[in-house]
Each structure stands twice: as C-alpha cells, then as structure tokens.
Structure 1
C-alpha cells in the first residue's frame, strides 16, 4: 500500500533585508552606524595628550579610551607637521558638480585622450614614411631596379 503524506504549504517568511531592533517601518539606514568626525581642536588635544604620555601602555590606554587607532594619530600628526590646520579637519565630502559640469569634465578628458591617440598615430605614420624613404634609397644605391607593376 502506498502511503503519501499530505503536503502542507510552507510558511511564508517576509524579510525586508534590514538588521536591527526589529522595529517596523524604519528605513534601511536607520540602524546603520554613522561615521565619526573629529574637530581640529579635538585632534590637536588628543595629539598633545598622546605626546605627553611617557609611561608604558599609557598611549594604548588613551587610544582604547577614545576608540581611536594609531593610524589616526599618524595621519593627524602628518597633517599637523605639514602646518595645515585645515588639513586636520579633513573634509572628504566634495561639493557636488552639476550635471553640465560633470559632462564637460568627462568630454574634456575624452578630448585629451583622443588628442594623445592622434599624436601617437601621426608619429607612427611619420615613422613608416621615413622607413619607406630609407628603403627606396637603399634600393637605388644597390643598383636594383624597382619591381615592375605588371604581373
């Protein structure tokens, strides 16, 4: 006797792709952590405090307390040594270009690339012309007649 199991539909699980508190109707970016930004004054204060520490492990403790990495200190020190107070407040967000400005810049880059390609091709043609002239000169000096054009 063949026994068949009744098929029950599988439950449908709906997931919106967000990870977080489980609150409904929140945007996907609501639970994303925000990138920290540091003011120039904070950077200078941390650099001064970091340089003042001499006890073993004190610098590492400062970095842990502030949630920083040694690369922060190195980057901030490099900017401070360059004398760029504005460099300390590194602003990575650039001003947005209008569509026309972006298109103009793209076209300028394309024109430059095409001009460079044209210059390479002109140089190659010039070289081929000189090689042809040299071969004709060598052929004439050897005393051979150019091949006839008839077959």
Structure 2
C-alpha cells in the first residue's frame, strides 16, 4: 500500500516515530546510538531539528528540510537503520518481518504533519517539550534530559 504524504520542498514537519514494542525503553537506554544515527544522517542529508524529544518508546520531532528537498521519509528510514544496526539482535522477529529482512525494532510507519504557519509551529514545539510531563516521566518539562527544551531555556 502506498501512503499519501504531503511533501513540500524546504517544508517544516512534525513527526511521531515509535518503537514496535511500546513498552520498551530502547530509545533512552541507547540514547548515544540514537544521537549517532541522527548525526550520521544529518551529515549526509542535512535538515534542521527545530525541536525534539526522545521518550523511552517514541520520538517527537519538528524538522525543517533544505530548500529543494522534501525527502523526510528517506531520512527517517536511515535513522532507523543506523540505530537498529548498532544494537545486538535480541528482539523477537515475526516471520513477516524476517521475510522482509526487518529487525522488528521500529514500527514500520511514522506519523507526520505538515506545519501550516507560525502558530502551528509553536504549538508543536510546546507539544514536543511537554510530552514527557504528559506521559508522567517528569513533573516539569525542563527535568527531562532527552529534550530540545534545554536549547530554548
């Protein structure tokens, strides 16, 4: 099935990317591997991270792509691949994933929203930064260590 996604060259997008096992804490226990994956992809396929939060089982991010570029899907695929390759193969892999040579760490898809205007942009930054509070990880957003809120403070 081919998903229809809005693609705007140089656009700004909000993403939610999740692990297959929503009870996992792989993203925070392997935060250095995730950071390395993002850094490697940004080096070869630049983009701006306007805001980002990493929770144990999912990521929220707000990105702006360079002018003339709309390929956020490729970037997420590469980040997922780099991260997955850095981990030992200990997860349970379903036959359908084995057939497609997938690890089973990530959900196959991700959710994206095209940012429409400045208000939408700032509303999503606020959502990203307060997500650890919403999930009960901290009582103050500034206390969550895996957030871009520290760049804003």
Larger RCO (alpha carbons 8 Å, 6+ apart): 2
Q: Which has the larger radius of gyration?
A: 1
Structure 1 and Structure 2 fold alike (TM over 0.5): no
TM-score bracket, normalised by the shorter chain, equals: under 0.3
Provide TM-score, normalisation by structure 1: 0.16
Higher helix share: 1
